[in-house]
Amino acid sequence: MKIKRDSSAKRKTELLCGFVLEDSNKVLGLPKVDSKTTSSINQSLKDMNGKLGKLTIIPIPGKKQAQRILLAGLGKKENITNDTIRFVSGKIAQTARELKLKEFSIIVPPTFVNDSVSSISQIVEGAKMSLYKFDKFKAEKVDKSPDMTIIVSKSSKISKAIKIAESVADGAIFTKSIANLPPNECTPTTLANFAKNISKKNKMKCTVISQPELKKKGFGGITAVGKGSKNEPKLITMEHNNGPKNQKPIVLVGKAVTFDTGGISLKPGQSMDEMKFDKCGGCTVLGIMKSVSELKLPINVVGIIPSVENMPGGEAYRPGDIIKLYNGKTAEILNTDAEGRLILADALAYGEKQYSPKAIIDFATLTGACIIALGNNVAAIVSNNEQLTEKITTSSKTTTEEIWELPLTQDYMDMIKSDVADIKNIGIGRAAGTITAAAFLKSAIKDTPWAHLDIAGVAWTQGAATKDKPYNPKGATGFGVRLILDYLQKL
C-alpha cells in the first residue's frame, strides 16, 4: 500500500472516508456536498449513529469527485483512544480491499484529538497492519492492497509523522511475516540470513556466531539446547551505530527457538504446532532493528538473537545435565522444556559484557505460566530498574501493547538455587513460573538496567482469548515492535 497526503477532500477518489462521533449528526471534516448527497448522508447518519466500528457506504451516482462516501463510527468522543483510531482505520482499509478498490481517501478530522499528528500515525499503523495477511504458502493470494490518501493540511511535521508511522508499521509487519513462517522453512540459519539482509540494506554491522565457535567461546546454554537438532544454533548480532561514538547502546535481546518440542521433556501433542511461534521474541528484535536502521534514529542500538531448535534425539541435552553458562555460572537442567532461559542467559551476559549497555530489554515467549497469570492481551514485564519500567510503560500507553509488572524480589531468586549447581532451570513446582524464569535471566547479568517482556500470551493470536483487532489477523502479532520503537524514539 502506498500512502500519500492531500489537502483537499474534493479530490477524485473511489472511496472518501469520514469519521463520525456517536450521537452526532455530522461527518467530521467533510466539505459541502450537493443536497441529494446530503440527504442520503443524513439518513445513514441516523441509522449508524457513529457507533464504534460501524461502517456505512453511500454510493454517489454521476460523475462526482468521490464515487462513494464511507461513514466510519468512532464511538463516544470521551472514549476515543489511539487504539480506536487504529481499529477503525484498519476496518476501513480492509473494506476498501474487499471492494477491490485501487485506492481510498481518509479525512483527518481537524478536531477530535488535540494532537492530530498522533492520530495520523494511528491511521497509518492501523490501515497498513490490517492489510497484511500471511498467504505465502497459499495458491490463492489475498487481493492487492489499495493505496491510501490521507486528507490533511500540508506541514513538514505531518509528512514526517506519516514516514515514521509507515516504517514502524513495516517493522511490525516484517516481524509478523517471519514469525508466521513454519518451522521447516525457518531455522536458525534462515533467521541469520534475514538479519544479514536487513543489515546489508540499512548499513548495520551483522555478525553470526555458529558452532564450533559458540562452544569454544563458552555459550553453554545455546550449545546445550541446540545439540538435539540437525539445524545448528546461531547467535545473531546486529549493530545500529548512529549515535555519538561513546554513547552506550541500548541492547535488545530476543528468544528465537524456531521450534520448541520441549526436547527430552517432550511437550504433549496438543497445539504443539504453535511452538513455531517460540521464535517471536527474536522476530520482534529483527523488526525493531529494521525500522531503527531505516529511520536512521540518532542512537546506538544492538540487537542480539540467540536462535536454536529444541528437539529430542540421541544428541539432545537431558534432565540432570549440568551446564556452564556464558557468565561462568553452572546450571542444573531439570526440564529441557525450560530452554528459553538458557539461551537468553548466554545472550544477556554476552550483551552486557560486549557492549556495556545503558539498558537491556529482552523479549521472549518464555512461560505458559504468563498466560495463566495475565491472559492473552497483556504481556508481563519483570525488571531490576524502576525508571526503565516506567519508560516502557509510558510507551505502552501510546502504542496499546499492554504490559503489567510482576515483582522480582530475593525470595524468587532463592527459588532457583540448585543442590548441585549454582542455579537450576526451573523454580519450585509451578509456583510463580513467569517470575522464576525471569529470576534465571536476572542472574545472568550484573547491574545493567534490564527489563524482560514475557510475550507468551500476546505474540500470536490464541483463539477467542485474544481480543479481536483488524490489525492483528490470525497468527503472529508483532507485539513489542511498536512499543520499543516508541521508547527508542523518546530517548
The CB-based long-range contact list for 56-61 (8 Å cut-off, 24+ gap) reads 57/15, 57/95
Nearer to ligand BES, 57 or 372 (CB): 372
Among 22, 83, 125, 260, binds Mg ion (CB under 5 A): 260
- Nearest residue to Mg ion, scored by beta-carbon proximity: 337
- Which of the choices Zn ion, Mg ion, ligand BES, none does residue 178 contact, using the CB cut-off of 5 to 8 A by kind? none
- Which of the choices Mg ion, ligand BES, Zn ion, none does residue 433 contact, using the CB cut-off of 5 to 8 A by kind? ligand BES
- Determine the Cα–Cα distance for residues 241 and 384; give it in Å rounded to an integer: 26
- Nearest residue to Zn ion, scored by beta-carbon proximity: 260
Neighbours of 467 (CB within 10 A): 13
C-alpha cell at 125: 499503523
Q: Which residue has the cell 526440564?
A: 335
CB of 266 vs Zn ion, minimal distance in Å: 13
What is the size of the binding site for ligand BES (CB under 6 A)? Answer: 15
Give the residues lining the site for Zn ion (CB under 5 A).
Answer: 257, 260, 278, 340
Q: Which residues are catalytic?
A: 267, 341
What is the size of the binding site for Mg ion (CB under 5 A)? Answer: 3
Among 166, 309, 337, 352, binds Mg ion (CB under 5 A): 337
Nearer to Mg ion, 364 or 408 (CB): 364
C-alpha cell at 423: 542455579
- Determine the Cα–Cα distance for residues 18 and 217; give it in Å rounded to an integer: 59
Could you give the 3-state DSSP secondary structure of residue 490?
A: coil
Q: What is the DSSP letter of 80?
A: -
- Determine the Cα–Cα distance for residues 309 and 297; give it in Å rounded to an integer: 33
DSSP per-residue codes, 215-239: HHTT-HHHHHHHTT-SS--EEEEEE
- Which of the choices Zn ion, Mg ion, ligand BES, none does residue 289 contact, using the CB cut-off of 5 to 8 A by kind? none
CB of 179 vs Mg ion, minimal distance in Å: 17
Q: Which residue has the cell 556495556?
A: 356
- Determine the Cα–Cα distance for residues 105 and 113; give it in Å rounded to an integer: 19
- Determine the Cα–Cα distance for residues 2 and 22; give it in Å rounded to an integer: 30
Nearer to ligand BES, 339 or 362 (CB): 339
CB of 437 vs Mg ion, minimal distance in Å: 10
Nearer to Zn ion, 295 or 311 (CB): 311
337 is in an annotated binding site: yes
Residues 296-355 that bind ligand BES (CB under 6 A): 335, 337-340
23 is in an annotated binding site: no
Could you give the 3-state DSSP secondary structure of residue 301?
A: strand
255 is in an annotated binding site: yes
Nearer to ligand BES, 69 or 364 (CB): 364
CB of 79 vs Mg ion, minimal distance in Å: 40
Q: What is the DSSP letter of 476?
A: B
* Residue 380 · residue 403 · CB < 8 Å: yes
Residues 244-263 that bind ligand BES (CB under 6 A): 260
Residues 431-490 that bind ligand BES (CB under 6 A): 433, 456
If binding is defined by CB under 5 A, does position 22 make contact with Mg ion? Answer: no
List 451's β-bridge partners, or say none: 361, 383
Nearer to Mg ion, 166 or 260 (CB): 260
The CB-based long-range contact list for 109-113 (8 Å cut-off, 24+ gap) reads 109/18, 109/19, 109/28, 109/29, 110/28, 110/29, 111/28, 112/19, 112/21, 112/28, 112/74, 112/77, 112/80, 113/80, 113/85
- Which of the choices Zn ion, Mg ion, ligand BES, none does residue 445 contact, using the CB cut-off of 5 to 8 A by kind? none
CB of 203 vs ligand BES, minimal distance in Å: 34
Residue 253, CA distances (Å) to 250, 270, 451 in order: 10, 29, 10
CB of 449 vs Zn ion, minimal distance in Å: 25
Amino acid at 263: G
Among 124, 164, 369, 416, binds ligand BES (CB under 6 A): 369
Among 53, 243, 319, 368, binds ligand BES (CB under 6 A): 368
Pairing of strands 359-364, 330-332: unpaired
CB of 322 vs ligand BES, minimal distance in Å: 17
Query: What residues form the annotated binding site for Mn(2+)?
Result: 255, 260, 278, 337, 339
Task: Give the binding site for ligand BES (CB under 6 A).
Answer: 260, 278, 335, 337-340, 365-369, 426, 433, 456
Where on the chain is the footprint of Mg ion (CB under 5 A)?
A: 260, 337, 339
